[in-house]
Structure formats: C-alpha cells, structure tokens
C-alpha cells in the first residue's frame, strides 16, 4: 500500500475526508463538485435506502466554507436540500484498519478481488486481482465497476490480444483486469496524478509492472493516447461520457468495443444517443442495482457481422 503521509500536531495523518449524504437522483451532480479539486472521490450506497454517502479525500485540509458554498449552489440548481457536511482528519492507522474492514475479498464472475491483507485462498480457475487500499477509489464492489468486470469477462472470447485503454483509471482495477484477461499491455489514464500513481502501484503488486503504462490526461488530450484501440474502458460519469463520444469513436478500431459505466439506469438514453450519433451500436447492457454498464461496438470491417444486442441484469 502506498500512502503519502503528513504530520498535523501529534498525529500522523493519511489525509482529510469530507462526507455527506444525498439522494440517488442528486449523486452525480454533487459528486462533480469535487472533480479536479479532491485527491479522490467515491460514493457508498446506504443499505435499504435510495440514499448515498459521498466521500471526498484530500491530502491537506480543505476549506470547509468553500465546500459548503459549492454544495449549496448545486442544491439550489436541483431543488435539493443542502447536505450536512462532515470534515474529519484520518490518522493512518485508523484509515488502514477501516479500509481493511470495508474491503473483504469477493468475486465478480471469474475475477477474485482482494487486498494483500487477505488470507483467503484464491478460488480455482479464478482471475485474481490484488487491489491495495489507497487514496484512489475503485475496489470493484461498486455496481458500475463490477458491471465493467462482467463486461470484460463477456468480451474475452470476442477479442484476441486487444489494444486497451482505461480512461479515468482510478485504482487501475479495470486496466489490471484487462491485462490479465488477455495477457496484453494496457494504457491507464486519469486526470488525477494520484490515481495514475496508484494504478501503477497496483499493477506492480499484480506482477504487471511492465504491462501497464500510466498517463496523466483529461480524456484523450495527451498526444500519447492517439490509438487506435480495440477496447476502451471508461468508468466515469454520464456527462463526461457524453463529451467523450466523438473522440472515443474516432479512436476505436473497426469492430472495437467501448465499455461505458458510472451512469445511472435513467441516464442510459442520453449516453446511448451520443454514441449512436457517432456510429456505435449497443452490444450489451449490464445493470447492477441502479447502475448501468453499456458495451458499445463500432461497425466491423465489411463481411464481419455485428454481435446481437442483449440485456443482462446482474
């Protein structure tokens, strides 16, 4: 596990957490407040309710007043109540132990996701993914991430040694899953340098240090990400996915696939419209609770039939 630590008073801190609860309908809007501001941001479903807890991580203490003001603007624009904000420092020891407790090993299809602290043996015929606790979110438990893992598993028979990029890589879990599924080199890009560093660290833990190349980039802005790609993984949010429709389609090879996630079921239509306008067709839809994962395909070269669309509810 790689953590940058700093001293505040007598405590060795992992960082600061901003936490608050919002209704499901407001989750995407409030999460976007922290884009490019927090070192990492994630969300956790509150059991048995249509409410979610947003968690934003900062390595240094943020300005609480400015955060509350930004949230108030979002609330006013959507007609929501301004959420009550909790700001707390997190000592390294407390953060590590809490993360271990929240991250027991689990399976998604053939993938067995676990931390290095896990003592449980790997199931036979599984593809193990060791994802360390770190400041970049993305352990695989979230419905959008698990949907992507299922989509990767479903595409294994259809792609042979694909050229792969993971946009918005976070912890690198999807890039690592693709690298292991096809035994290929993978590019992992994120606009957060902490996420790129975490993805590289996790790749090394999985014995893939030479097979994952990290890029700091907003979308495809980095000139090194010109493509073409046979598979694009993009587990981000609905609005950025819509903005990426044209550049992503331009970088997909004929017959290539894009796995899109981080969107709610009710946001599927808008995302699909954007990509259909660029010539991509729906190949598969995976729903995990309120979250949707879309598998889209660019038209293959002449003489190669497209795969039939189907609905898979997880």
127, part of any domain = no
User: What is the per-residue DSSP string for 75-103?
Assistant: HHHHTPPPPPPEEEEEEHHHHHHHHHHH-
Are 164 and 305 in a shared domain?
yes
Q: Which residues contact 10 (CB under 8 A, 6 or more apart)?
A: none
- Provide the whole-model pTM: 0.69
Are 280 and 172 in a shared domain?
yes
Q: What is the pLDDT of residue 311?
A: 39
Are 146 and 254 in a shared domain?
yes
Q: What is the pLDDT of residue 99?
A: 53
Are 296 and 164 in a shared domain?
yes
Closest CA to 117 of 34, 221, 1: 1
282, part of any domain = yes
Q: What is the pLDDT of residue 298?
A: 94
184, part of any domain = yes
Are 255 and 184 in a shared domain?
yes
278, part of any domain = yes
72, part of any domain = yes
Q: What is the pLDDT of residue 206?
A: 93
**Residue 51 belongs to domain with CATH number:** 3.30.70.260
Residue 125 CB neighbour total at 10 angstroms: 7
**Residue 308 belongs to domain with CATH number:** 3.40.50.150
- Could you read off the pLDDT of 28-62 as tens digits, one per residue? 889 889 877 887 777 777 765 678 888 888 878 89
Single out the residue in 47, 82, 99 at which a domain terminates: 99
Q: What is the pLDDT of residue 293?
A: 96
| Domain span at 36 | 6-99
Are 256 and 165 in a shared domain?
yes
Are 59 and 179 in a shared domain?
no
Q: What is the pLDDT of residue 101?
A: 55
SS (H, E, C) 10-42: CEEEEEEEEEEEEEHHHHHHHHHHHCCCCCEEE
Q: What is the pLDDT of residue 157?
A: 93
110, part of any domain = no
193, part of any domain = yes
Q: What parts of the chain have a pLDDT lower than 50? A: 1-13, 93-95, 135-138, 304-314
Are 248 and 159 in a shared domain?
yes
- Number of domains, the chain: 2
Single out the residue in 42, 74, 99 at which a domain terminates: 99
Are 301 and 179 in a shared domain?
yes
Are 193 and 55 in a shared domain?
no
The gap between the terminal CA atoms of the chain, to the nearest Å, is 31
Residues forming a β-bridge with 252 = 229
Whole-Å CA distances, 22 to 36, 38, 62, 84: 20, 18, 20, 9
Q: What is the pLDDT of residue 314?
A: 38
125, part of any domain = no
């Amino acid at each position: 596990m790689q953590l940058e630590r700093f001293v505040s008073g007598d405590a060795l801190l992992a960082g600061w957490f901003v936490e608050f609860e919002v209704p499901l309908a407001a989750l995407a809007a409030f999460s976007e407040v922290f884009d490019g501001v927090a070192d990492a941001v994630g969300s956790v479903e509150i059991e048995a309710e249509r409410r979610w807890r947003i968690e934003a991580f900062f390595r240094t203490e943020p300005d609480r007043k400015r955060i509350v003001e930004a949230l108030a603007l979002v609330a006013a624009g959507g007609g929501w109540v301004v959420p009550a904000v909790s700001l707390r420092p997190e000592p390294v020891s407390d953060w590590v132990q809490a993360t271990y407790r929240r991250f027991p090993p689990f399976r998604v299809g053939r993938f067995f996701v676990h931390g290095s602290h896990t003592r449980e043996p790997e199931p036979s015929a599984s593809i193990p993914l060791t994802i360390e606790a770190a400041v970049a979110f993305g352990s695989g438990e979230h419905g959008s991430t698990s949907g992507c893992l299922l989509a990767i598993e479903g595409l294994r028979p259809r792609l042979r040694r694909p050229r792969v990029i993971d946009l918005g890589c976070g912890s690198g879990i999807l890039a690592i899953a693709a690298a292991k599924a096809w035994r290929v080199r993978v590019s992992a890009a994120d606009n957060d340098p902490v996420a790129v560093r975490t993805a590289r660290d996790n790749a090394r833990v999985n014995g893939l240090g030479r097979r994952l190349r990290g890029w700091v980039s907003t979308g495809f802005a980095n000139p090194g990400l010109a493509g073409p790609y046979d598979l694009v993984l993009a587990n981000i949010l609905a609005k950025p996915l819509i903005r990426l429709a044209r550049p992503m389609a331009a970088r997909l090879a004929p017959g290539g696939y894009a796995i899109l996630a981080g969107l709610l079921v009710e946001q599927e239509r808008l995302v699909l419209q954007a990509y259909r306008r660029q010539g991509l067709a729906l190949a598969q839809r995976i729903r995990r609770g309120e979250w949707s994962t879309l598998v889209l395909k660019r038209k293959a070269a002449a003489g190669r039939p497209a795969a039939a669309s189907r609905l898979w509810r997880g």
